[in-house]
Amino acid sequence: MTVMKKVLGTLFMVSFLIACGGGASTEKKTDTASAPANALSANPDYQKGLTLVGGSDCLTCHKVNEKNIGPAYKDVAAKYENTEDNVKMLAAKIIKGGAGNWGAIPMTPHPQVKEEDAEAMVRYILLLKK
C-alpha cells in the first residue's frame, strides 16, 4: 500500500506541475481559473480538492490535461458550469459511479468518499476551467 501511495503521490505531483506550468501570456485574465497558478493555488477550494484528489485513487484513471481511462479534469471543467447543482451531481457520480457521459468505460463507485470530500474534489476540478 505504501508503494501505491508513493506512485499516486508522484503522479499527483507530476499532474500538478503540468497543470500549473505553461507559457506566458500577455492577455489579461480575469476569472480565477485563468489566474496565475499562485492565485489559483491560494484558493482554499483548490487546495482542499487538490489534497483530496492526491490522496485518492483518482489519478489512476484521470489526468489534469489529457484523457486517460477517464476524461481529463480540464475537459470536465469545460463541460460543466461551476454551480452548486453541478457540484452535487458530479460528487454523487464520484460516490455512486457513472457511465455513458464520457464513453463506454464506466467510472467505478467510490462509496468510501464522504459527500463533502467529493464536493471539494469537484470544486477543485471545476476551477481548472480554461
| Structural domains in the chain plus CATH codes | 2-20+36-126 (1.10.760.10)
Instruction: Please report, as a single letter, which amino acid is at residue 81.
Output: E
Average pLDDT across the chain, whole number: 79
In this predicted model, which residue has the larger pLDDT, 3 or 33? 3
Q: Are 72 and 129 in contact (CB under 8 A)?
A: no
pLDDT score, position 6: 56
Mean pLDDT, range 113-130, rounded to an integer: 94
Residue 83 burial (10 A CB sphere; 0-12, 13-18, 19+) = exposed
pLDDT in tens, 13-55: 444 434 444 333 333 333 334 445 567 778 888 999 999 999 9
41 or 118, greater pLDDT: 118
